[in-house]
Structure formats: structure tokens, C-alpha cells
Amino acid sequence: MGIEIERKFLVVGRSWESLPGTRFRQGYLSAEPGRTVRVRVAGERAFLTIKGEPKGEAKLARLEFEYAIPVQDAHTLLDELAQGIVIDKVRREIEVGGMTWELDEFFGENAGLVVAEIEIPAEDAPFERPAWLGDEVSADPRFANARLSVTPFAAWSDADRGAVRAGRAPRLG
């Protein structure tokens, strides 16, 4: 059993743009409250991932189980069974202060959205904040990939999209 503790932030600027990345195609077979079942193709590899409901004081930790699956099976699952849109993004991994940041640049209906995530060993674990880090959006459900597959960035209000592009979290509700 795995536990994922993750923090998510908006990204400011484009200094990361020239770094190499991996193209991801991912979708959700289930995205019900309390659990998600995701299929992901990452470059030449594919995975089935099951995630539980966020728990803990800051709601940053959740169960996560991930299994390698055949790439062709993943494409078929995405094409035939995924709910909503299939997420298209490039992930770049950036080492900062001995920890790995995953920076996701979205395309398609989520074009214009760029977020950075860091997995940490405990909810209160310290980490170095790179200069390109904007506001934290860990607790904002609109930034969950499962939600973006149903309500993509292109469907957000002009004001919310503008705030995000400036690295500011839009107001909830």
C-alpha cells in the first residue's frame, strides 16, 4: 500500500519551457468522491492508478496504488471508457533542493494551465520553493486532473484563467 502526500502550486513565468519532458495522455474510468481510477500513458509506458480520498490534517495524504499495464490496453481504455476528456500534458521533472518537482504543462482544452507538484514525506515537511512557484492550489478541487477532465480550463471564467496565468489562485466559490 502506498501513501501519496502531495502539494500543488501554480507556475509563474516560462523559464522551464526548454527543459525536456514526457508527453502524458491520461483519463479517468471513475472519479467518484473518495476514489479515482486513472489510466495514464507516459511516453512508452502505461499505468493504472487507484487513489483514495485525501486524509490527514491538511488533506494532503491519500492512498495510492499504481500498476504497469500494456500501452495498447491503456490507449483502448482511454479511447473507449474514459469519462470526460482525455488529459494531454507534458511533464517536466525539476530537481530543487534535493527534491523533485513535477511541472505539468497542459494542452487541448486545458491549454494555458501550468502546475507544479511535489511529493513530500510528511504533510509538514519543509521544501525549497523555486522562484517560478506561484500560489498553492493543493486544496482547490478545480486543479485535480480528474476535475479538469470534466471541467477543463477552457470552460473557466476569463477572470479565473487570467489569475491562474499570473500565478494567482482564483477565489473558490
92 in a domain, yes or no? yes
Write the burial class of residue 27 (CB in 10 Å: 0-12 exposed, 13-18 middle, 19+ buried).
buried
Which position among 28, 132, 153, 156 bears the catalytic label?
A: 28
56 in a domain, yes or no? yes
DSSP state of 73: H
For residue 32 the three cell numbers come to 467518484
The mean-pLDDT minimum among 27-36, 51-60, 114-123 falls in 51-60
The per-residue pLDDT for 59 is 65
50 in a domain, yes or no? yes
**In Å, how far are 32, 66, 89 from 105, measured between CA atoms?**
25, 22, 5
Percent over 70 (pLDDT), the chain: 97
137 in a domain, yes or no? yes
13 in a domain, yes or no? yes
Q: Report the number of distinct structural domains present in the chain.
A: 1
Residue 88's contacts (CB-CB under 8 Å, 6 or more residues apart) are: 23, 24, 25, 106, 107, 108, 110
Q: Which domain holds residue 34?
A: 2-165
The per-residue pLDDT for 4 is 81
Write the burial class of residue 74 (CB in 10 Å: 0-12 exposed, 13-18 middle, 19+ buried).
buried
**In Å, how far are 3, 60, 64, 138 from 52, measured between CA atoms?**
9, 11, 6, 15
The per-residue pLDDT for 58 is 62
108 in a domain, yes or no? yes
Mean pLDDT, the chain, whole residue set: 93
Mean of the pLDDT values across residues 24-40?
93
58 in a domain, yes or no? yes
Whether 111 and 154 have beta carbons less than 8 Å apart is answered as: yes
pLDDT band of 164, cuts 50, 70, 90: very high
Mean of the pLDDT values across residues 107-116?
97
173 in a domain, yes or no? no
The per-residue pLDDT for 130 is 95
Indicate which CATH number applies to the domain containing 14.
Answer: 2.40.320.10
Mean of the pLDDT values across residues 93-114?
97
The per-residue pLDDT for 116 is 97
Mean of the pLDDT values across residues 12-16?
92
Mean of the pLDDT values across residues 1-7?
81
62, pLDDT greater than 90? no
Mean of the pLDDT values across residues 91-106?
97
The per-residue pLDDT for 80 is 97
* Biggest CA-to-CA distance, the chain: 42
Decide if 67 is catalytic: no
Query: What is the spatial distance between Cα 166 and Cα 10, in angstroms, rounded to a whole number?
Result: 9
The per-residue pLDDT for 34 is 84
Look up residue 140 and give its amino acid.
D
